[in-house]
């Protein structure tokens, strides 16, 4: 999975928690890198995002990934984002603060949905 967050402490928590649970995790420190990784990794299970810095916002990142990999599950960390155009209808939000167990449960749920629905490849 690809994880991006603009808070270094939360990013460390996310990556450490997910790797400790046995997930292969690629850390991206901005939206541009997260988008690039999400589009390049062939068997990606999940994109986790919470980034407001840089030229790529959460909405930009999600739109770019959805355009090329429409079935890829995405988890947004933080407050729910405005959704006037319906782009985020299937992007759940995990609001802070949350525990490692809450994160892992949400990840398990999304990965299971991905596996049940088949491949996210175009």
- Any idea what DSSP says for residue 120? -
Is residue 49 a contact partner of residue 74, using CB atoms and an 8 Å limit?
A: yes
Which residues have a Cβ under 8 Å from the Cβ of 61 and sit 6 or more positions away?
4, 31, 34, 35, 38, 47, 49, 51
What is the third-level CATH fold of 2-117?
Rossmann fold (3.40.50)
What is the pTM for the complete model shown?
0.90
pLDDT tens column, 87-110: 888 899 999 999 999 999 999 999
pLDDT tens column, 43-61: 999 999 987 656 678 888 9
Q: What are the boundaries of each domain within the chain?
A: 2-117
Place of tokens 């270094």: 8
84 phi and psi angles, rounded to 5 deg? -65, -25
């Amino acid at each position: 999975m690809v994880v991006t967050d603009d808070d270094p402490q939360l990013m460390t928590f996310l990556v450490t928690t997910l790797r400790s649970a046995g997930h292969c995790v690629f850390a991206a420190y901005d939206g541009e890198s997260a988008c690039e990784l999400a589009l390049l990794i062939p068997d990606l299970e999940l994109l986790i995002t919470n980034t407001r810095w840089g030229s790529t916002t959460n909405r930009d990142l999600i739109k770019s990934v959805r355009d090329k990999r429409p079935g890829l599950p995405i988890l947004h960390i933080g407050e729910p984002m405005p959704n006037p155009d319906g782009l985020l209808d299937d992007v759940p939000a995990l609001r802070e603060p949350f525990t490692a167990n809450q994160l892992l449960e949400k990840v398990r749920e999304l990965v299971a949905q991905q596996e049940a629905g088949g491949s996210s490849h175009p």
